A and B are shown apart, each in its own frame.
Chain A
Amino acid sequence: MYGKKVKLRIIFISSVFITLILSVYIILKLLDDNIVYFKSPTEIKKLSDIDKKKIRVGGMVKKDSINFEKESISFIITDFKNDLAVTFSGSVPNLFQEEKGVVAEGFLKDQNFFVADKILAKHDENYMPPEVSKSLGN
């Protein structure tokens, strides 16, 4: 149907393309740990040694866990398997709420205690008007 040259081009371009996809796949696989924006409390528990590097931890803010103290806020990040206590001094974003997603950036003191210097609120994929949210019982 097609000429010999066209066939050769199809084979060549597809092999280049497949090679590229494979190499991108391998690179992404190798970098997996560094691509994630945050780690979950369970992953923190699995860490064998705590290094001094800055990390991000994410999950849900546990219900009734937010404590406003004089100059700091403390709360618990949970992934419903493991918990991690966090303290932070500074202002939190508007969407920071109990039972909503959160990402904390800072330093790990030990496997159960995290000192954050930045708090980001994570929004989920649900969008709805307030009335609908109320009728769902939130």
Chain B
Amino acid sequence: MLFKLIEKNKNIITSPTFKKIIIILFIICLTLGLFEALILSPSDYLQSDAVRIMYVHVPAAWISLSIFSIIAILSLGILIFKNKNFVIIAKSLAPSGFIFNLIALVTGSIWGKPTWGTWWAWDPRITSMLVLFLFYSLYLLSWRIFDKQKAINISSCLALIGVINVPIIKYSVNWWATLHQPSSIKILSGSAIHSSMLTPLFLMTASFALFSVLIFLMKYNTELIKLKNKGLNRL
């Protein structure tokens, strides 16, 4: 559905006005989000100001997981229906997902030192997140190393194998005894995060999502230009 929409409105999406709107929305969300996260929101009763790391860590993890899931769904379409537009969309989504995965790992480590007392723990949540990072790296590398058709097939297979890891990351904290805390926000039972801390969390999530869209648009345009310059109608 969404992808058909993208295909139909290709001209609107690649237009500079659309990009400008996204940039403006991103700047608004980021400024409000940072202001809320760093100044307005209260510090935590246990971890005091270290809680502010969460406003970067959690949205980054959410975004990187969602982007990988989208790439996997697109890859399924690529392998089954040989849809050429999906190839460019999936390829253009990967870099921002990769960066947010890296941010989630690094900020988690920075948070872990003052609260847990360690930079790194081989705990199921953290290890599975590292595995996702490796899959992102392999996915991006496969586009660089292999030739056109081979790269499309190999990267799509990688995305499909890697997506098995996504539910493992999500439920690792419920299935096993982990050092990482369980999810605070559950769809059915509400949030274990106080409402004054939710506003910055959602604003930061929105701004990260807009940032991903922005990077996606830039990458998508470059890929289209690359195709045009090669004078190829096929990939």
- Say whether B79 faces chain A, with CB atoms less than 8 Å apart: yes
User: Known contacts A35-B176, A40-B177, A130-B43; is A121 also within 8 Å of B116 by CB?
Assistant: yes
Question: How many residue pairs bridge A and B at CB < 8 Å?
Answer: 114
Cα-based distance from A92 to B76 in the complex (angstroms): 49
- Say whether A64 faces chain B, with CB atoms less than 8 Å apart: no
By a CB distance below 8 angstroms, the chain A residues around B176 are: 32, 35-37
User: Known contacts A35-B124, A37-B178; is A129 also within 8 Å of B116 by CB?
Assistant: no
Task: Give residues in B with beta carbon < 8 Å to A.
Answer: 42-47, 51, 54, 76, 79-81, 114-118, 121-124, 160-161, 164, 168, 176-179, 181-184, 192-194, 196-197
Q: Tell whether, in the assembled complex, residue A120 and residue B179 are in contact, meaning their CB atoms are under 8 Å apart.
A: yes
By a CB distance below 8 angstroms, the chain A residues around B114 are: 93-94
22 A-B residue pairs with CB within 8 Å:
A9-B80, A13-B76, A13-B80, A13-B160, A17-B160, A93-B114, A93-B115, A96-B117, A97-B46, A122-B179, A123-B115, A123-B181, A125-B192, A126-B184, A127-B193, A129-B43, A129-B44, A129-B45, A129-B194, A129-B196, A130-B43, A133-B46
Beyond A37-B123, A120-B116, A123-B47, 18 additional contacts (C-beta under 8 Å) are A38-B179, A93-B116, A93-B117, A95-B115, A97-B46, A120-B117, A120-B118, A122-B181, A123-B181, A126-B192, A127-B51, A127-B197, A128-B197, A130-B44, A131-B42, A132-B45, A133-B46, A134-B45
